[in-house]
Chains A and B, each alone.
Chain A
Amino acid sequence: MLPLMGSLAVALLSTGARNAAGLIAGATALAGTVLIGCLYPVLAGGRVLESRIAWLPSLGVDLVLRLDGLSWLFASLVLAIGFLVVIYARYYMSSQDPVPRFFSFLLAFMGAMLGLVLSGNLVQLAFFWELTSLTSFLLIGYWHQNESARTSARMALIVTAAGGLCLLLGVVLIGKIVGSYDLKDVLASGDAIRQHPLYMPALILVLIGAFSKSAQFPFHFWLPHAMAAPTPVSAYLHSATMVKAGIFVMIRLWPVLAGTDAWYYIVTSTGVATLVVGAWAAIFQQDLKGLLAYSTISHLGIITLLLGISSPLAAVAAIFHTLNHAFFKASLFMAAGIIDHEAGTRDLRRLSGLYRFMPITGTLAMVAAAAMAGVPLLNGFLSKEMLLAEALEDYNDTWLDQALPYLVSLALVFSVLYSVRFIHQTFFGPRPELGHTPHEAPHWMRVPIEVLVLACLLIGIFPAITIGPILGLAAHAVLGDSTPAYSLAIWHGFSQPLFLSVVALVLGAVGYVLFAGRLNAISAPPLVGLLKGRRMFDAALYFLVAGARWLETRTGTNRLQPQLRVLVMVALLAGVLPFLHYGYSLGSRHGTVLDPGFGILWVIGGVLAIAGAWQAKYQRLAAVVLVSGVGMVSCITFVWLSAPDLALTQLLVETVTTVLLLLGLRWLPKRLPDVWPERHTPASVRVRRARDLLIAILAGGGMALVSFAVMTRPLPDTISRFFIEHSYADAGGRNVVNVILVDFRAFDTLGEITVLAIVAITVFSLLRRFRPAGESVRGPLQQRRQDAFDEAGEDREPGDTLSDYLLAPRVIIEWLFPVIIVFALYLLIRGHDLPGGGFAAGVTMSIALVLQYIAAGTRSAESRLRVRPMNWMAGGLLAAAGTGTAAMLFGYPFLTSWFRYLDLPIIGKVPIATALLFDLGVFLLVVGATAVILIAIAHQSIRTPLRQKVAPVEPAPEQI
């Protein structure tokens, strides 16, 4: 996972750090290459390395890294070519581009690709598969200012990620058949898979995944579009790695999936179709990279075709060609990048005669192109010989088998043709009309190409020494003991394959001589050009989006009321269904005797609630008072029914809520009389109201029935007994409710106060950008009258009337300030044993603060008292979390509490518990959060209204 870490490191660099980013990326890739190189002797000894980390043990999914011959081959390909591409990209990327981002993406991709080839588990494989799709999306869309880069990146992502989804389904099916996702187990149960009824769907799904990734017909269209990516990306993704992922999966699962008729027909025919279509289209490309892209498609077709043939020898050839293709195609892409860089165009019609300016690059490109065309003494020749031999071999007497030699030879003619065209058009001919003189690329930009071309030559000339052992290792990993004997010699004597090779070379060259002029005039390949993969893709996408939109407009709404209505009705339905099924009955528990006082209390409560609901539209102040009356009723209910803590908290919170709502009232519009004059309410509105009333009554009735049914049943034995029994013995607190909050379930409470802090900060930041409606910017009517009166009087200041009115309350409240604080602290300290605790104390404390604001006015309160609620909140969170962490310092789990009773002189026995510290944190946070909410709203009234023209700059944020 080295590259992933490298990616993170590079991502942190600044955009200008071009060299540093390149250095880190190169070092990472080099280190990986060396590491994997060191592992070769181990593998050559026939061992398979595995490293296992438990990931989802319950699902049988572990994170397994598995290194055998095949994955070693692919991993070294990924790392070594990755290293070369990094060197190349360092010189290719312009200094205006954010280069570190590029290297970061590249390394991330490298990591994903490595994860893919090293996966020892099918689910993991699918996961890394999607990761490569994602990172390649980022790489293709690297020049995101470019429209075509964006669309091609999106297209590549959609095609390959959808394929990845199919692959995931496929491997899940395989996992179902085998009973394990582990690659080892899967590879061992080939026969079971092939005979299983689910084989067919699994095969098709896996193949769709592989085909889409490896740009097989008919999913090939994304690859040419992906050429919008920077050239190093093309060289890396579209020669050696990304497109080989599909091939890799096919090779990996070859032992278990191949060998059936279905496999033969699907894979071989797809391979042949891709080969011919790709090679044919490549001839007609005018874009250098487009030509290479289509030739890549056709070469991927070759590999697929070989895999489809299902003979062990063909599989060896497939692996071999994968390797060869990576070498010559990467170097060709890099050469194309240099040409583009130097000549300023990639259009074959405009390029010519570049050889005289860049002889070295030209020679390199020629060798690589010759390898692509399959000229003897180069690596491409060897694998092509193997391909021809396999195509000629009679495996079964189907028409496909009969037609193979002809189709393959035809495609080879095409491939010679486009290779010659590539070289001749670019490097030979008259001097180009470019307006500037191109010259040779920097030395280090050519080095990667030199290395790759050297590899092509070495493999081509000394195959048995250079590539033999590695290929043998990889082939053995796939085929096991049935690895066939094969020969990598250049000279097999005069044979049919050789004859076909020569014919193809000659025909291709002749074809170019004949048609070269005409090819330049054609803009789209005939026949194949009619298959507009892209247009179909766009149409499919359009219908998908339009369909989704239609569905949304039909079924969705962004109006709140219908949504809430549906919500309530679904809840109602969910509540009713069990009763319809099981029937409604009452339990056997004897109820508590009804106290008439309680009855009267709830008569009042019910009336208040209904009246509040009735009045909420026009009489907001009355409604607030009525609703807080209901709060008081529920508070008294808690006292009555043995819940003093709840009653206390409810009482205090009710107070601040009422203050809050009253503060908010000022910003709401005046309620005009009904939009519809009395008696002319439209029928639709009446129907809606009646329906809502019905829903409301049903909901209320349902709740009443459910709660009555619950309350008449005896209480089962719950965890509460544990809390009651251990509260004093283990936690040193008598007040069980408080002990639950600060000790047994302290983690929940920690989460809860964090939520509170987040809400407070959200409120604060929402209000910083608050823009009141125009009509409520001026002070309320009453305040304006008072101010007018004050201004009229000679010895009066604005605001005097108000402070005169409030003189007596202000004095009382100011005197009460310390008293309330002491009360709050008392509540806090006694909380562990008696009703009270951090929540109640915190709210009390904030009431003390808010009362000062109410009595003295915001400005004068703040001139004497600086509350810094943010500090309170921070302190609270720190105290609570710190108490928890402190337990860890002593080796206990997070939030373990400790307590002891201390004998202090005079005061007596005092309980000391770390839970008290935690409660202190709760207290501080509640004070801070409540205060910040209330003060932030209160501040809106004294803010200077923002005038856009006069003061474009927002007033400095208030000191709170």
Chain B
Amino acid sequence: MELVLALGIGILTSSGVWLILRPRTFQVILGLSLLSYAVNLFIYAIGRLKVDAPPIVGAVAGAASQYDDPLPQALVLTAIVISFAMTALLLVVLLASRGITGTDHVDGDDGE
């Protein structure tokens, strides 16, 4: 499982980095989306992988090792919401830039 997830994170990162280095705004947005999936999964993976051990405790909490680490999960939960906000902001900025400059190049002009 670990190996698969690690490879998955790697592939997502590669695709994301490739896209944010592209010249078109839309590519950059998608690249950031992919990159944030990768980072979220990575942060989550810091808490190690456990199957069937959600951090939902009973009336008496068992040993911590019975549950998946809740802390990275809390971090990732907020990260997901924030990355949505970031995507929205970026999208609007890029649309405005497209409206003002007439191109969707990241630098506002098409000259390569």
- Which positions in A face B, CB cutoff 8 Å? 558-561, 564-565, 568, 589, 591-595, 598-599, 602, 605-606, 609-610, 612-613, 616-617, 620, 623-624, 627, 630-631, 633-634, 637-638, 640-646, 649-650, 653, 656-657, 660-661, 664-665, 667-669, 675, 685, 692-693, 695-697, 699-708, 710-712, 714-715, 718-721, 723-729, 734-737, 740-741, 745, 748-749, 752, 755-756, 759-760, 762-763, 766-767, 769-774, 833-835, 839, 843, 926, 929-930, 933, 937
- Which positions in B face A, CB cutoff 8 Å? 1-31, 33-34, 37-38, 40-42, 44-61, 64, 67-71, 73-74, 76-78, 80-89, 91-96, 98-100, 102-104, 106-107, 112
Nearest B-chain residue to A592, judged by Cβ: B1
Q: A591-B2, A685-B112, A724-B61 are in contact. Are A649 and B77 (CB under 8 A)?
A: yes
> A51 to B58, alpha carbons, bound, how many Å?
57
A728 lies within 8 A of B61 (CB): yes
Question: What is the distance, in angstroms, from A655's C-beta to the closest C-beta of chain B?
Answer: 10
B77 lies within 8 A of A737 (CB): yes
A644 lies within 8 A of B54 (CB): yes
Contact of B10 among A700, A745, A929 (CB under 8 A): A700
A707 lies within 8 A of B70 (CB): no
B73 lies within 8 A of A737 (CB): yes
A642 lies within 8 A of B85 (CB): no
B14 lies within 8 A of A594 (CB): no
What chain A residues lie within 8 Å of B104 (beta carbons)? 668-669
Interface of B is mostly: helix
Q: Rank and list the top 7 A-B pairs by shortest CB-CB distance, nearest first.
A: A704-B10, A700-B14, A708-B6, A696-B18, A613-B15, A736-B70, A721-B64
What chain A residues lie within 8 Å of B56 (beta carbons)? 644, 734-736, 833-835
Q: A736-B67, A760-B85 are in contact. Are A558 and B107 (CB under 8 A)?
A: yes
Known A685-B112, A699-B14; 10 more pairs at CB < 8 Å: A609-B12, A616-B19, A642-B50, A643-B44, A653-B83, A664-B29, A715-B47, A727-B61, A755-B85, A763-B89
Question: What is the distance, in angstroms, from A741's C-beta to the closest C-beta of chain B?
Answer: 5
> A834 to B56, alpha carbons, bound, how many Å?
7
B93 lies within 8 A of A669 (CB): no
What chain B residues lie within 8 Å of A770 (beta carbons)? 92, 95-96, 99
Contact of A649 among B59, B80, B87 (CB under 8 A): B80
A561 lies within 8 A of B37 (CB): no
What chain B residues lie within 8 Å of A721 (beta carbons)? 64
Interface of A is mostly: helix
A649 lies within 8 A of B26 (CB): no
Contact of B99 among A560, A642, A745, A771 (CB under 8 A): A771
Nearest B-chain residue to A685, judged by Cβ: B112
> A660 to B41, alpha carbons, bound, how many Å?
23
B55 lies within 8 A of A735 (CB): yes
B30 lies within 8 A of A627 (CB): yes
> A667 to B68, alpha carbons, bound, how many Å?
43
> A346 to B54, alpha carbons, bound, how many Å?
85
B34 lies within 8 A of A704 (CB): no
A699 lies within 8 A of B1 (CB): no
B45 lies within 8 A of A707 (CB): yes
A724 lies within 8 A of B55 (CB): yes
What chain A residues lie within 8 Å of B59 (beta carbons)? 728
What chain B residues lie within 8 Å of A748 (beta carbons)? 78
**Would you list 12 pairs from A and B whose C-beta atoms are within 8 A, ordered by A residue?**
A560-B107, A602-B7, A606-B8, A609-B15, A653-B80, A699-B14, A701-B10, A707-B10, A708-B3, A714-B48, A745-B74, A766-B93
B82 lies within 8 A of A641 (CB): no
Q: A646-B73, A755-B85, A937-B92 are in contact. Are A592 and B51 (CB under 8 A)?
A: yes
A592 lies within 8 A of B49 (CB): yes
What chain A residues lie within 8 Å of B20 (beta carbons)? 564, 568
Contact of A564 among B21, B30, B70 (CB under 8 A): B21
A643 lies within 8 A of B30 (CB): no
> A288 to B82, alpha carbons, bound, how many Å?
64
What chain B residues lie within 8 Å of A833 (beta carbons)? 56
A598 lies within 8 A of B4 (CB): yes
A755 lies within 8 A of B82 (CB): yes
> A557 to B31, alpha carbons, bound, how many Å?
22
Q: A610-B11, A667-B99 are in contact. Are A692 and B3 (CB under 8 A)?
A: no
B91 lies within 8 A of A661 (CB): yes
Q: A646-B44, A773-B102 are in contact. Are A657 and B33 (CB under 8 A)?
A: yes
B77 lies within 8 A of A741 (CB): yes
What chain A residues lie within 8 Å of B29 (beta carbons)? 661, 664
What chain A residues lie within 8 Å of B92 (beta carbons)? 762-763, 766-767, 770, 933, 937
A707 lies within 8 A of B9 (CB): yes
What chain A residues lie within 8 Å of B87 (beta carbons)? 657, 660-661
Question: What is the distance, in angstroms, from A19's C-beta to the closest C-beta of chain B?
Answer: 48
Q: A561-B21, A568-B21 are in contact. Are A704 and B91 (CB under 8 A)?
A: no
What chain A residues lie within 8 Å of B57 (beta carbons)? 724, 727-728, 734, 736
> A667 to B29, alpha carbons, bound, how many Å?
14
Question: What is the distance, in angstroms, from B9's C-beta to the closest C-beta of chain A?
Answer: 5
Nearest B-chain residue to A560, judged by Cβ: B106
Contact of B37 among A560, A564, A591, A631 (CB under 8 A): A631
B85 lies within 8 A of A703 (CB): no
What chain A residues lie within 8 Å of B77 (beta carbons)? 645-646, 649, 737, 741, 839
What chain A residues lie within 8 Å of B9 (beta carbons)? 703-704, 707
Nearest B-chain residue to A640, judged by Cβ: B51
What chain B residues lie within 8 Å of A926 (beta carbons)? 81
A568 lies within 8 A of B54 (CB): no
A642 lies within 8 A of B52 (CB): yes
Nearest A-chain residue to B54, judged by Cβ: A642
B80 lies within 8 A of A704 (CB): no
Nearest A-chain residue to B53, judged by Cβ: A642
A723 lies within 8 A of B42 (CB): no
Question: What is the distance, in angstroms, from A681's C-beta to the closest C-beta of chain B?
Answer: 11
What chain B residues lie within 8 Å of A591 (beta carbons)? 1-3, 49
> A755 to B83, alpha carbons, bound, how many Å?
11
